[in-house]
Amino acid sequence: MNAPAAPTVRSSPALVEGRGSLSQALVTSLRTGIPPTCDTADIDAAEVWGEDLQLALYLLYELHYKGFEGVDERREWDPDLLRVRRLIEDRFLHNLRSDLADGPSTVHDAFGPLLVEPIDLSGSLSHQLATEGELWQLREYAALRSLYHLKEADPHVWVIPRLTGRSKAAMVAIEYDEFGAGRAERIHAQLFADLMNDLNLDPNYGRYLENAPAALLATVNLMSLFGLHRSLRGALVGHFACVEVTSSPGSRRLAKAMERCQAGPAAVLFYAEHVEADAVHEQVVRHDVIGGLLEDEPDLEADVAFGCAATMLLEDRLTASIKAAWDRQESALRAPLGPVG
Whether 287 and 148 map to the same domain: the answer is: yes
167 and 316, same structural domain? yes
H or E segment to which residue 60 belongs: helix 51-62
Q: How many domains is the chain partitioned into structurally? A: 2
CATH of the domain at 264: 1.20.910.10
- pTM, full prediction: 0.94
Give the span between the Cα atoms of 99 and 95, in whole angstroms: 6
- Asked whether residue 195 falls in the same domain as residue 69, the answer is no
pLDDT of residue 276: 73
Q: Name the domain boundary from 99, 127, 156.
A: 99
Query: Are 85 and 210 members of one domain?
Result: no
Return the H-helix or E-strand segment holding 255. Answer: helix 233-260
Question: Is 65 a member of any domain?
Answer: yes
pLDDT for residue 2: 46
- Rounded distance between C-alpha atoms, residue 215 and residue 42, angstroms: 20
Sign of CA dihedral 280, 286, 288, 293: positive
Contact 34, 65 (CB under 8 A): no
User: What pLDDT score does 8 carry?
Assistant: 40
* pLDDT of res. 5: 43
The verdict on 67 and 182 lying in the same domain is no
- 185 and 305 part of one domain: yes
Residue 279 included in any domain = yes
Which domain-ending residue is among 51, 69, 99?
99
pLDDT in tens, the chain (341 residues): 544 444 444 589 999 999 999 999 999 999 999 999 998 999 999 999 999 999 999 999 999 999 999 999 999 999 999 999 999 999 999 999 999 999 999 999 999 998 877 656 777 899 999 999 999 999 999 999 999 999 988 999 999 999 999 999 999 999 999 899 999 999 999 999 999 999 999 999 999 999 999 999 999 999 999 999 999 999 999 999 999 988 888 999 999 999 999 999 999 999 998 887 666 778 899 999 999 999 999 999 999 999 999 999 999 999 999 999 999 999 999 999 977 65
Query: What CA–CA distance (Å, rounded) separates 333 from 341?
Result: 19
Q: Is residue 318 part of a domain?
A: yes
User: 236 near 303, Cβ under 8 Å?
Assistant: no
CB 247, CB 274: distance < 8 Å: yes
Last-in-domain residue among 99, 125, 144: 99
Q: Which domain holds residue 158?
A: 107-327
Residue 10 domain flag: no
Closest CA to 156 of 90, 66, 220: 220
For residues 188 and 290, membership in a common domain is answered with yes
The single-letter DSSP state of residue 164 is -
